[in-house]
Structure 1
Amino acid sequence: MAAAAAATPPAAAAASPPLQEFSVAEERSGHCAVVDGGCLYVWGGYVSIEENEVYLPNDELWIYEIDSGLWSMHLMEGELPPSMSGSCGASVNGKLYIFGGYDDKGYSNRLYYVNLRTRNGTYLWKKITDFKGQPPTPRDKLACWVYKDRLIYFGGYGCRKQSELSDCFDVHDAYWGERIFWGWHNDVHVFDTTTQTWYQPKIKNGVPPQPRAAHSCTVLGNKGYVFGGRVLQKRMNDLHYLNLDTWVWSGKICTNGEKPGDRSWHTLTSVTDSKLFLFGGLSSDNVPLSDGWIYDVATNKWQQLKYLPKSIPRLWHTACLGKEGEVMVFGGSKDDLHFMDTGHCSDLLIFQTQPYSLLRLSLDCIGKMLHLALMDEAVLEQIKITNISLEVFLMIILADVWVKAANLCVEVLCL
């Protein structure tokens, strides 16, 4: 699950060409994704190959250019993180930070970053070791808020020593030989990116959410919202917020009217100054979900989007807000990962939650006409566009459509 700080990057000098162009990011779940400037960046996660879970290469950064609709892959260098799933990725001032996750050696509490606004085309990972303070205990499936150049982490599943047990930890299992305990967290940890300092804020008041993992977080104003997630065998549908200035929890928000069902592995995204967009996840009955909901802070109501197709369930995907108010959902699984871990996806789903600008509508029209002129009938049949309403529409971008269109453009330009 990812949070992104939207800031316009400075103009970059000409970068070296990517290793692979006009391809698509490989299918995956449990990855990290952020938007910075006009691009979506994807790293990590895992895929199933012949009933084995395989972590994707840790030196690959996939970049989706939003305006052109094209993917490219760049090899990364530096102090590479291990290949992982369940890490928490976020963007602050043009840098992608990843914390935590799970790899072949277990849970992580290491923090890495890479500058996405490179001027020479080289993406260089750096492991942060010269920090002050105490980082969180190792964990995965946590979430975070980005606020005032700080990364604010909440929850997750991981391990603790017996001496580290506290009220913010629900024990799931234990290995008594070494007195190691596994379970769910509801603690809050802050990393200040300007001072390279870890600290735990003093929560002054309010009732915190119970420990959980595979929940989703997003920032609206100075409030960090959290929805759902799992603890023990229970999945939840409660909504809370933490005031990120005063460190006061809201307690469970009692909303008006109907509301989303229990779920984990979903996403929650701020789409306007007063609305949140919830999508997908895994239900209490282990059913992959494809429903979408809008939460209006002003009315304290959830509204279900009635016309989303049921054929696109997603869980353990990522969702990022684009520059035109669109929510870009990438990857994830369409199957229950506990029982049939084969349905990883590489589709990019785009939810338009507010009207496009006139400039964007004009450019889209020109782009569609160009694609129609270049594509043959076989390619056209693969394009599926579903009009939902004046407020929301969903476009499913099939991977090889963009590849064929891009190759055709190159052929025409070479004539």
Structure 2
Amino acid sequence: MNSRTDAEILSSLERSDHTAFVEGNILYVWGGCQSRSGTEVILPSDEIWLFDLQSGLWERRGMAGEPPPALSGTCGSYYNGTLYVFGGCNHTGHTNQLYNANLLDASYTWRRVTDVQGNTPSPRDNHSCWAHRDRLIYFGGYGCKTITEANNSRSFVVHDTSWVMFGATMFRFWGWNNEVHVFDLNTVTWSEPETHGLAPAPRASHASTTLGDKGYICGGLEDSVLDIHTLDLDTWTWTQIDLLSSLAPVGRSMHSLTTVSDHALFLFGGLSITGDPLSDGWEFNIQTKMWTEMDHLHNDKPRLWHSACQGKDNDVVVFGGCQEYILLMDSITVLRSPSQNHCKDVLLFQTQPYPLQKLCEDCLAHNAEILQRQLSSLPPKLQEAVDKRVSFFKMEPNQLNKKLKDRI
């Protein structure tokens, strides 16, 4: 343990605009931003947080190597034991650097990816990524381009012009794109495949997920109804999905979209086009092409700029985000207010019936006091699992996530 108090450690968990993923029973959380004394602070890039979904225990790990600069609006993805971070903004402006961190070694070592082949995408933020077949496939975002890049692009909508120095290059055009860029992890090569079909409109702060050989995106536009598109990641063919029912979520951005089965996607939260934080949950069936609004236990907890991951038993694990959104404007883009209310709680959404073993473990944990003698006779592996659930359920509802350890 270091010298920080539990309250100080817990305070550092509050964040939005971060990267998160689930591996086994562990939720990993990296980066993001939070408010401190009226100032928005980008959180350190040389640490990562681990949350045990069985015991409710937080742990902080230091990261070695060459960490990326503190970034906002970056795009993080996890693939085969490695965390990848591309793009975002730092104190000097937008970036198009790629970093990775090996999470399978004990030191969690960062490395800046250099000596790449092909043309690196222009600097951007608030884009998305599909990790598929040893490739990182990036879509959309907001950023800046040179005059030549903007003139040569049919996938870029200019929002504003500004003279900004980025290294030795002067960028002038800012806006949204609907470009598809691929980074091949085996050949360390960037490419921009030629796509077919009707591409979605340029956008940022949308939501995306992968199901099978297809990538899905929705939202990120000022439309009254949420659109949804799919890209075949083998043929590079875009398809806009025409809904078979008028029932659909309202248009939004800063929301999440998570794969929960072989035919269903789960959407949660976001910011409506009227500026209202949302707490609704919806399931999209890719076979019937219909949205269904889902009942859940977190209707009183609106979230935007949160993370959402598929957990064990097809749960959706939501962490962090904001409960409100206050806009500030500058000459380039919309900024978040430094008085933003960031969150640190973990929300679980059950999308499928739980297996019998989980139900039994939870039942034993709930009744641990009256079954104390019997629990000591359980097989060691089952006893360990039940002990973790006992630890989880002993915490009061408003104290959930407040058990932690700090290991650097």
Query: TM-score, normalised to structure 1's length?
Result: 0.82
The residue identity in structure 2 corresponding to 1:193 is L
Q: Which stretch shifts more, 291-300 or 247-256?
A: 247-256
**1:278, 1:294 within 8 Å by CA — same for their partners in 2?**
yes
In structure 1, the partner of 2:154 is 167
In 2 relative to 1, CA 142–371 (structure 1 residues): closer, same or farther, beyond 3 Å? farther
Distance in structure 2 (CA, Å) of the matches to 1:159 and 1:278: 29
Q: Is residue 155 from structure 1 mapped to residue 146 from structure 2 by the alignment?
A: no
In 2 relative to 1, CA 236–58 (structure 1 residues): closer, same or farther, beyond 3 Å? farther
Distance in structure 2 (CA, Å) of the matches to 1:297 and 1:79: 41
What are the residue-to-residue correspondences of 1:99-110 with 2, within 5 Å? 99-110=86-97
Q: Is residue 71 from structure 1 mapped to residue 63 from structure 2 by the alignment?
A: no
C-alpha distance after superposition, 1:49-76 (max 9, x if no partner): 1221111111111011222221100111
Root mean square deviation of aligned Cα? 2.7
Distance in structure 1 (CA, Å) of the matches to 2:230 and 2:190: 21
User: Alpha-carbon deviation of 1:369?
Assistant: 3.8
In structure 2, the partner of 1:222 is 213
In structure 2, the partner of 1:31 is 18
Q: Is residue 42 from structure 1 mapped to residue 29 from structure 2 by the alignment?
A: yes
The residue matched to 2:278 in structure 1 has which SS?
A: strand
- Equivalenced residue count is 368
Distance in structure 2 (CA, Å) of the matches to 1:234 and 1:262: 5
Q: Pick from 375, 397, 400: which aligns with 1:398?
A: 400
In structure 2, the partner of 1:326 is 315
Structure 1 spans left out of the alignment, 5+ residues:
1-16, 385-396, 408-415
User: Alpha-carbon deviation of 1:38?
Assistant: 2.8
User: Alpha-carbon deviation of 1:371?
Assistant: 9.0
User: Alpha-carbon deviation of 1:222?
Assistant: 1.1
**2:56, 2:400 within 8 Å by CA — same for their partners in 1?**
no
User: Alpha-carbon deviation of 1:20?
Assistant: 8.7
User: Alpha-carbon deviation of 1:36?
Assistant: 2.2
**1:292, 1:308 within 8 Å by CA — same for their partners in 2?**
no
What are the residue-to-residue correspondences of 1:73-112 with 2, within 5 Å? 73-112=60-99
**1:228, 1:264 within 8 Å by CA — same for their partners in 2?**
yes
In structure 1, the partner of 2:361 is 363
In structure 2, the partner of 1:138 is 123
User: Alpha-carbon deviation of 1:173?
Assistant: 0.8
Distance in structure 1 (CA, Å) of the matches to 2:144 and 2:171: 10
In structure 2, the partner of 1:12 is none
The residue identity in structure 2 corresponding to 1:334 is Q
Distance in structure 2 (CA, Å) of the matches to 1:68 and 1:179: 49
In structure 2, the partner of 1:392 is none
Distance in structure 1 (CA, Å) of the matches to 2:179 and 2:148: 16
Distance in structure 2 (CA, Å) of the matches to 1:250 and 1:126: 36
Q: Is residue 282 from structure 1 mapped to residue 280 from structure 2 by the alignment?
A: no
Distance in structure 1 (CA, Å) of the matches to 2:108 and 2:218: 33
Distance in structure 2 (CA, Å) of the matches to 1:269 and 1:210: 21
In structure 2, the partner of 1:14 is none
Q: Pick from 242, 254, 257: which aligns with 1:253?
A: 242
In structure 2, the partner of 1:292 is 281
In 2 relative to 1, CA 58–235 (structure 1 residues): closer, same or farther, beyond 3 Å? farther
In structure 1, the partner of 2:376 is none
**1:201, 1:247 within 8 Å by CA — same for their partners in 2?**
yes
Structure 2 spans left out of the alignment, 5+ residues:
165-169, 329-336, 373-386, 388-392
User: Alpha-carbon deviation of 1:252?
Assistant: 4.6
User: Alpha-carbon deviation of 1:197?
Assistant: 1.2
User: Alpha-carbon deviation of 1:185?
Assistant: 0.9
**1:229, 1:235 within 8 Å by CA — same for their partners in 2?**
no
C-alpha distance after superposition, 1:309-346 (max 9, x if no partner): 43100000000111221110011000114265421000
In 2 relative to 1, CA 308–361 (structure 1 residues): closer, same or farther, beyond 3 Å? closer
C-alpha distance after superposition, 1:161-216 (max 9, x if no partner): 1110122111111025845111101000011112211111111x210000000001
Distance in structure 2 (CA, Å) of the matches to 1:220 and 1:90: 15
Distance in structure 2 (CA, Å) of the matches to 1:367 and 1:193: 43
Q: Which stretch shifts more, 309-318 or 279-288?
A: 309-318
**2:58, 2:401 within 8 Å by CA — same for their partners in 1?**
no
- Percent sequence identity is 45
The residue matched to 2:197 in structure 1 has which SS?
A: coil
In 2 relative to 1, CA 298–199 (structure 1 residues): closer, same or farther, beyond 3 Å? same
Distance in structure 1 (CA, Å) of the matches to 2:187 and 2:25: 28
In 2 relative to 1, CA 236–107 (structure 1 residues): closer, same or farther, beyond 3 Å? farther
In structure 1, the partner of 2:351 is 353
Distance in structure 2 (CA, Å) of the matches to 1:96 and 1:271: 22
**1:21, 1:73 within 8 Å by CA — same for their partners in 2?**
no
**1:35, 1:91 within 8 Å by CA — same for their partners in 2?**
no
Distance in structure 2 (CA, Å) of the matches to 1:78 and 1:235: 45
C-alpha distance after superposition, 1:230-250 (max 9, x if no partner): 3xx667611000011111100
**1:91, 1:97 within 8 Å by CA — same for their partners in 2?**
yes
The residue matched to 2:28 in structure 1 has which SS?
A: strand
Q: Which stretch shifts more, 206-215 or 27-36?
A: 27-36
In structure 2, the partner of 1:202 is 194
User: Alpha-carbon deviation of 1:366?
Assistant: 3.1
The residue identity in structure 2 corresponding to 1:80 is P
The runs of at least 4 consecutive aligned structure 1 residues that moved more than 6 Å come to 17-22, 371-374
